[in-house]
Amino acid sequence: MRIAIVGSGYVGLVTGVCLADLGHEVVLVDNDAEKLAALQRGEVPIHEKFLPELLVRHRGGRLRFSGDLATSARDCQAVFIAVGTPPTEQGEADLSYVESVAREVSGSISGYKLVVEKSTVPVYTSAWIRKIMLRNGTRADSFDVASNPEFLREGTAVTDFLYPDRIVAGSDTERSSEVLRQIYEPLTSGRYYAEAHAVPRPEGAPTQLPQLMLTSANSAELIKHASNAFLAMKISFANAVAAVCESVGADAKQVCQGIGMDARIGTRFLNPGIGYGGSCFPKDLLAFRSVARECGFDFRLLDEVIRINEEQRQRFLRKVRSALWTLRGKRLAVLGLAFKGGTDDIRESPAILLVQSLIQEGSQVIAHDPAAMARAKEALPATVEYAATPYDAARGADALLILTEWEEYAQLDLPRLARELKYPIVVDGRNLYEGSAMTQHGFTYYSVGRPTAVPEEPAASVPSRDDAVRIEGERSA
């Protein structure tokens, strides 16, 4: 099938290369000529596993790039809208880019077209897209509008697309449902997985064939927002439980593991830490709350989820202060700047917000991140130093702070780390280590929702009988 993807950002680029890998002819449309030129050269603007390989595989073949939306839409059977929907000052999603695309596509209808909203949008967006296209002269029987929300996690977006938990397709006509079935048939039939070039199935991915869940467009739009709100709620719940655990001396990691073993709850997203961030959860919670208010429902649960998340950063700062007494003049090694491991995205990153707070309190920060340092330099003050390795960051530091759960940070050479630090103090915002292992290497270890682990002081040596006689003789003399 010939498909146009409008928007070459995170969602648009991943969707484009993955649909090309499924066998479709894809044109990626963007009005940013510089970004298109970089993609045509094979340059990948984001840190995402398998994305460079798929771009090389299909660039110039099944995957093309264009700045001409009208022509691209005219030549395609389906047009996916994957432009940004940033929050306004009121927390609502800014849909002006979506509206602009709808107006332009309305002038490019020749034969039947399916317009698919892929961006994360509030309910009724599909209805508004249809209304805008009708207002701009498009015949009602020449197009349909469907909602096909994405459920991509940064760092694993390609495998999330190709090995999904579910594919949600919101369409209100059988004609549009059939087009969506054809688009995803390589996945739902299993045909893609038999291909020699198929991206390998990741560990833990569903083994059964993905199901295409057909819903109304309104339901699909709500499924996306409600899913992200629920996941953010699980994170905030785990952090609230961690706060109680710290008060009573319990281990939040054990408590959350016990909760998650209940099949009705599950362990995923029940990990205490420094709070959620990224481009989705903060924005989508505000948008979902705004939609609820417009519908006359005061969704106060979402207010509390947001409040707990913001408070979690302050709790972590208090933990750093308790470890060091004062922060002014302290040299602090920071491991992790991205909002999560596996990505270079620093949008709404709690790590970035914490570094900014540390600098405001007079600390000197030297940071390391495997992928996000270039982006962080654009967001952080020039006083922040950057290290080539975690050990370079730790050298001479008063304490080490772990802010992002990169896998390599969970496998540090602890004896070497202890030698590099001025004081063996680690404040772990991601609970990557066990306290007993850290104290064995001489660290004072602070984590989230668990008791502080302090090495035992060496026992005072008991003098032998001969030593006692010698000491007594010296006293007499």
Which positions are catalytic? 280
Closest CA to 76 of 36, 33, 16: 16
| Beta strand ranges found along 425-474 (DSSP E) | 425-428, 444-446
Residues 35/67, Cβ–Cβ less than 8 Å: no
Residue 396: other Cβ atoms inside 10 A: 11
Give the separation between CA 308 and CA 262, rounded to whole angstroms.
Answer: 24
As a whole number of angstroms, the distance between CA 319 and CA 429 comes to 10
Asked if residue 155 lies in contact with residue 48, where contact means CB atoms within 8 angstroms, the answer is yes
Spatial contact of 168 and 148, defined as CB atoms under 8 Å apart: yes
Per-residue burial over 447-470, b if 16 or more Cβ lie within 10 Å, else e, is bbbbeebeeeeeeeeeeeeeeeee
**8 A C-beta contact, residue 384 and residue 359:** yes
453 DSSP 8-state letter: B
Query: Which residue, 246, 326, 249, 232, is CA-closest to 287?
Result: 232
Can you tell me which residue has the tokens 């398998």?
A: 50
Can you tell me the distance from the alpha carbon of 253 to that of 67, in angstroms, rounded to the nearest whole number? 50
Pull the structure tokens for residue 458. 């060496």
Give the pairing of strands 385-386 and 25-29. Answer: unpaired
